[in-house]
Amino acid sequence: MAGISKTNVARLLDAAGIEYELIPYRFSEDDLSAVHVAEELGEPIDQVFKTLVLRGDRSGLFVCVIPGDFEVDLKLAARISGNKNCEMLHMKELLPNTGYIRGGCSPIGMKKKFPTFIHESALLYDHIYISAGIRGLQVKIAPQDLFTYVNAEIYPI
């Protein structure tokens, strides 16, 4: 891994003894989408997951990790997180609350541990890709290891 500096996400996974691989990719400020990431990685979009932070009316902040080509279903997200309503966290609130910026948000290593829900399709694969905590770097990880590490609940379709 010469030339790739370890992110906080990588250090946390190392400390937990979890196997992973850091995969760099070219990113563009004009297209921070998971679709772009998948194209750069040469991987199917269903294995590249995006991390979304939402605010529930009862629970406060929570995290949904969903396939890159999915849109979050706010009604379902509210229901699974024990809320009546929820909304996406405003971009200006992302960094102060999570320590991450848009396009580099990882479910691992946020400032606080938030309830985390990972889409059930992750379990279909030996490995999935999530952000390593910065733009231009992904973590290739076994979904079960991710579920366990972030203490996630399975998020059904």
Does the predicted TM-score (pTM) go above 0.85? Answer: yes
Q: What are 98-120's pLDDT values in tens digits?
A: 999 999 999 999 999 999 999 99
Whole-number Å distance between alpha carbons of 52 and 112:
15
Q: What are 41-87's pLDDT values in tens digits?
A: 999 999 999 999 999 999 999 999 999 999 999 999 999 999 999 99
Paired with 15 in beta bridges are none
pLDDT, average across residues 7-28: 94
CA triplet 66, 134, 62: central angle to 5 degrees? Answer: 40
Whole-number Å distance between alpha carbons of 67 and 65:
7
Whole-number Å distance between alpha carbons of 101 and 89:
12
Structure tokens at 108: 């691992």
Residue 157 confidence (pLDDT)? 57
User: Which DSSP helix (H) or strand (E) runs through 24?
Assistant: strand 20-24
Which of 2-16, 27-41, 67-81 shows the highest mean pLDDT? Answer: 67-81
pLDDT, average across residues 29-35: 84
Residue 30 confidence (pLDDT)? 83
Considering just the CA atoms, what is the radius of gyration of the chain in Å? 15
